[in-house]
Amino acid sequence: MLKMHSFRLTTASALGVLYARLATAAVPDPPAPEPIEVVELPLPPVTTGSCTPDINPRGTGCITQGIYGEGFQSGSFLPDGNHIVAYVTFTGAPEAPDPASIYNGSQIILIKTDNTSFPNGDPWKCITCGVPAGNSPGKSDTWDYPHAFQDGKRLLIGTNIVDCGEFLLTDSDCTPERTFVYPIRWNVTPDGSGAGGAIRELRLHPDNVHLGFSSFVIVDGTVGQFSYFSRLQFNPAPTTGEPLVPRYDLVNVTMLFSPNNTPPLTIDGDEIIIHPLPNQVGELRGFSGRGGEVTYIGYPTESCNIDLYAVELATGSVRRLTAHPEYVDPADVSPDDQWTVVMDTRGTNRQMFMAGMRGVPPLIDMIATTVASSIRNNHQRRFFEPYLIDRYGDRGDYSGQKISEAGSGVAGSGAINDPEWNGRADPRWSPDGTKIAYWQDLTASPACGGVNPLPCYKSTAQGGRFVRFMLATLTSRKPYTLPSVEPVSDVVPWGTPYVPGDPAPTLPRIPQGTYTLSGATSGSAEVTITENADDTSIKSVAVQYNDYSDDGINFINGYENYTRSNPSPSLEVADWYSDLVRTGETHSTKKTSPDGFHPSVDLFVNIFEANGTLTTTVDDDVYLQPLNYS
Ligand SMILES: *[C@@H]1O[C@H](CO)[C@@H](O)[C@H](O)[C@H]1NC(C)=O
Ligand SMILES: *[C@@H]1O[C@H](CO)[C@@H](O)[C@H](O)[C@H]1NC(C)=O
Ligand SMILES: *[C@@H]1O[C@H](CO)[C@@H](O)[C@H](O)[C@H]1NC(C)=O
Ligand SMILES: *[C@@H]1O[C@H](CO)[C@@H](O)[C@H](O)[C@H]1NC(C)=O
Ligand SMILES: *[C@@H]1O[C@H](CO)[C@@H](O)[C@H](O)[C@H]1NC(C)=O
């Protein structure tokens, strides 16, 4: 049950909403909840030893238990809507020349979603098992985010493209001998030599000729990331650069950032100005269904509230897709652009202790987003569940519909809504808009058990599996058939064309000083920014609120200050002091213990550990931080 007190409408704000609606006249009433049926998709049988004929009589392999979800990921639908593509890990194969020896290690399979089988009787087919080494000379070892091309013949997997030539992947004629794996290379040297740049989180554009990706940079001792838009170009015989094998080159690469774009915050004399909806792409999450927009995690609109945004490729215009104070990340926009499915911590209260007070301007967020976004996980455990949200996003009492809702809700029961099964990236829409595939993993030690305050639960899945792939059907919806997406322009006018060898830019930042942020309707906040010793980054942000109001209904008073240090580039330690009160629609407080709140988090490990407390109250609800290590 979601608690959305801060959205509860008073008469005054109901009128405000009414006037806003008359003004924009575009936002419809939220949709009513709809019927959703969820089933588990079939997977090869599990073994913890050898894959014997007892376990798989057809000799088509056995998989690992997939603890931590490692070696598994469900991906997109095939264009026929009757299969998904998935990454799995086989184990226990007999030695060659046994034909079953090919069912070994990291592989990509297709899984039937319509309860039918491939000709051999299996509801799944391995695509990469047994592909001769000569067909995949330069393949990289990443297998994540498997995604089918519209031709039904190719797959994006990790930083590779699998290609079955003239054959549909589902076809019996698509054999290992006819399957090729080509690496994807991003050239980062002026002369085209050497290895490609490190690319991650690849997402195929629905026009199937463009690719979005992200890449880490380390600037001023902290980890940062930029996202890029590019064109995939097959290069059958490259003459330079590694690997020197048939490959896909990324050409017409554009960084989805420009120093010419207005950043989230600017100054004018001693005034600080917040620009809502800046087109500054944080981590790229994908594309809209028709391909007009890039989805991404952006600079927060409200303090410590991580949301999903969409920016139009052609214009740079930005929409906010989610507004709930909890953390959102993996997402997929429906093929007709009318719906979004997200993986979100909403409903778990994981983040409410820092984000539950609404309408706090994103000031400490100049330096607090790493911590605010890293607390969402505990080790490998996500606290995500899939939610269905309409195009117009969270509003009023509407905060989407939980997809994994059926069942008793009992931890360890294995029900659809067992809270120990955690949503993972990415949920995916079927091409006809009636189904959503998603996957989950079961909390495992050290995210539970031992010194951890949370107990571990035994898996009730086949073979004690720690992963499960799910299929949600929106049973009241009519399937649609959409025309294929026309190729979009290579040019992103609000981005920066990437020239190989260019260093990553530094994000603009507000210089050290004391500034005033005026409330949109009344009051103000005094903001003191202090740089680190060598003036290369912001060390602390201290804010004093005086009857600050952006809407004339809600008022913030008190102070909040946040100081960060980075003992290593990915390790962030904060000294956080808050004593905020917000009056108006709700009475909310955000308060640290007298000695302050001191979290430390490594963004590649995500173990929550803190001294002191930070607590948010919203009317009668008290939101506490997670227990250490949990
Ligand atoms: C297949 O059919 C069986 C029996 O009707 C049902 O229990 C199961 O959930 C179905 N599986 C899928 C993936 O639809
Ligand atoms: C399976 O793969 C592992 C490592 O990738 C290798 O050591 C092992 O020999 C393989 N088994 C078979 C049967 O090919
Ligand atoms: C895209 O890249 C190709 C190959 O590098 C080049 O010929 C073409 O001019 C580029 N297009 C644009 C719009 O920059
Ligand atoms: C933050 O607040 C604490 C507690 O009031 C205070 O000790 C500290 O000096 C403040 N830091 C800054 C940078 O203002
Ligand atoms: C908490 O305090 C203890 C004792 O001073 C210290 O060892 C530890 O590093 C602190 N942890 C954090 C996250 O600040």
Q: What 3 state SS string does 564-585 have?
A: EEEEECCEEEEEEEEEEEEECC
Q: Which ligand is nearest to the CA of 107?
A: 2
Whether 629 maps to a domain, the answer reads: no
- Taking the centre of ligand 3 as the mean of its atom positions, its distance from the CA of residue 248, in whole angstroms, is 15
- Ligand 5, atom 7, residue with closest C-alpha: 611
> Which protein residue's CA is at the shortest distance from atom 9 of ligand 4?
561
Shared-domain flag, residues 468 and 540: no
Q: Is the CB of 41 under 6 A from ligand 1?
A: yes
Q: Which ligand is nearest to the CA of 71?
A: 2
Cis preceding-peptide flag for 44 (omega within 30 of 0): no
Q: How far is the CA of 42 from the centre of ligand 1 (A)?
A: 9
Assign residue 60 a region (left: φ > 0; alpha: ψ between -120 and 50; beta: otherwise).
Answer: alpha
Residue 160 is inside which H or E element, if any?
Answer: strand 160-163
Q: Which ligand is nearest to the CA of 61?
A: 2
> Is 141 near ligand 2, meaning CB less than 6 Å away?
no
- Residues 289, 230, single domain; the answer is yes
Q: Judge if 242 and 106 occupy the same domain.
A: yes
Q: What is the pLDDT of residue 3?
A: 27
Task: Measure the CA–CA gap between 270 and 606, rounded to whole angstroms.
Answer: 37
Cβ–ligand 5 distance for 574 under 6 Å, the answer no
> What CATH code is carried by the domain that includes residue 274?
2.120.10
Whether 558 and 411 map to the same domain: the answer is no
611 lines ligand 5 (CB under 6 A): yes
Residue 196 in domain: yes
* Domain match, 565 and 487 both: no
Nearest CA, atom 4, ligand 1: 115
Task: Report which protein residue has its CA nearest ligand 5's atom 5.
Answer: 611
* pTM of the complete model: 0.94
* Burial class of residue 155 in the structure, from the number of CB atoms within 10 Å of its CB (0-12 exposed, 13-18 middle, 19+ buried): buried
- Any atom of ligand 2 within 6 Å of the Cβ of 93: yes
Judgement on whether residues 125 and 263 belong to the same structural domain of the protein: yes
Phi, psi of 302 (to 5 degrees): -125, 145
CA-nearest residue, atom 6 of ligand 3: 252
**Distance from residue 156's CA to the centre of ligand 2 (Å):** 24
Atom of ligand 4 nearest to the CA of 575: 1
Query: What's the residue count for the chain?
Result: 630
What H or E segment, with its residue span, contains residue 126?
strand 124-126
Is the distance from the beta carbon of residue 349 to the nearest atom of ligand 4 less than 6 Å?
A: no
Residue 135 lies in a domain: yes
525 lines ligand 1 (CB under 6 A): no
Cβ of 421 closer than 6 Å to ligand 4, yes or no, is no
| Structure tokens given for 14 | 């109901």
Q: Is residue 79 part of a domain?
A: yes
The ligand that comes nearest to the alpha carbon of residue 499 is: 3
Q: Find out whether the beta carbon of 595 lies less than 6 Å from any atom of ligand 5.
A: no
The response to whether residue 565 sits with its C-beta less than 6 Å from ligand 5 reads no
Which residue's CA lies nearest to atom 6 of ligand 4? Answer: 577
Partners of 580 in beta bridges: 558, 590
Say what the pLDDT of residue 282 is: 84
For ligand 1, is residue 39 a contact (CB within 6 Å)? yes
* Containing structural domain, residue 452: 33-348+383-497
Nearest C-alpha to atom 8 of ligand 2 is from which residue? 104
CA of 627 to the centre of ligand 5 (A): 14
First to last CA, the chain: 21
Residues 277 and 185 in one domain: yes
- Going from the Cα of 531 to the center of ligand 3, the distance in angstroms, rounded, reads 41
Give the pocket of ligand 3 (CB within 6 Å).
Answer: 251-252, 490-491
The number of the ligand 1 atom at minimal distance from the alpha carbon of 41 is 13
| In a shared domain, residues 420 and 273 | yes
Q: Are residues 153 and 49 in the same domain?
A: yes
Domain end: 497, 530, 550, which one?
497
Q: Which of 592, 601, 608, 611 to mutate to test the pocket of ligand 5 (most atoms within 8 A of CB)?
A: 611
Residue 581: CB atoms within 10 Å: 16
**175 in contact with ligand 5, CB cutoff 6 A:** no
Q: Pick from 371, 266, 376, 353: which is nearest to 580 by CA?
A: 353
CB-CB contact of 341 with 388 (8 Å)? yes
Ligand nearest 95 Cα, by number?
2
d(CA 124, CA 143) in angstroms, rounded, equals 17
- 368 lies in some domain: no
Q: Which numbered ligand comes closest to the C-alpha of 93?
A: 2
Question: Distance, CA 251 to ligand 3 centroid (Å)?
Answer: 7
Q: Are residues 483 and 519 in the same domain?
A: no
Last residue of one domain, picked from the residues 433, 465, 497: 497
In the reported structure, the alpha carbon of residue 604 is separated from the centroid of ligand 2 by a whole-number distance in angstroms of: 29
Closest ligand 4 atom to 541 CA = 13
d(CA 596, CA 585): 27
Q: What is the mean pLDDT of each run of 10 residues along the chain (630 residues)?
A: 28 38 70 98 98 97 98 98 98 97 98 98 98 96 96 98 98 98 98 97 98 89 88 98 98 97 97 95 95 97 98 97 98 98 97 98 96 92 97 96 97 98 98 98 95 94 98 98 98 98 90 98 98 90 98 98 91 96 97 98 89 98 95
Q: What is the rounded distance in angstroms from the CA atom of residue 492 to the CA atom of residue 210?
A: 12
pLDDT, position 165: 98
Domain count, the chain: 2
Nearest by Cα to 519 from 543, 484, 491: 543
Q: Could you tell me if the CB of 534 is within 6 A of ligand 2? A: no
| H helices present in 329-412, as ranges | 352-355, 365-374
Cβ-proximal residues to 245 (8 Å cutoff; 6+ apart), any chain = 137, 138, 182, 183, 238
Q: How far does Cα 145 stand from its chain's mean position? A: 11
- 610 touches ligand 5 (CB under 6 Å): yes
Question: Does one domain contain both 541 and 458?
Answer: no
For ligand 3, what atom is nearest to the CA of residue 490? 13
Ligand lying closest to the C-alpha of residue 98: 2
- The Cα–Cα gap between 117 and 44 comes to 13
- Domain assignment present for 280: yes
- The atom number, within ligand 4, closest to the CA of 542 reads 14
pLDDT for position 25: 56
In a domain, 15, yes or no: no
Distance 611 CA to ligand 5 centre (A): 6
Does the residue 116 lie in any domain?
Answer: yes
User: Can you tell me which residue has the tokens 């969402």?
Assistant: 376
User: What is the Cα–Cα distance from 582 to 357, expressed in whole angstroms?
Assistant: 7
Which of 468, 497, 526 is at the close of a domain? Answer: 497
Q: Based on the fold, state whether residues 532 and 488 are members of the same structural domain.
A: no
Q: Measured between alpha carbons, how far is 429 from 417 in angstroms, rounded to an integer?
A: 20
- Is there a contact between 416 and 49 (Cβ–Cβ < 8 Å)? no
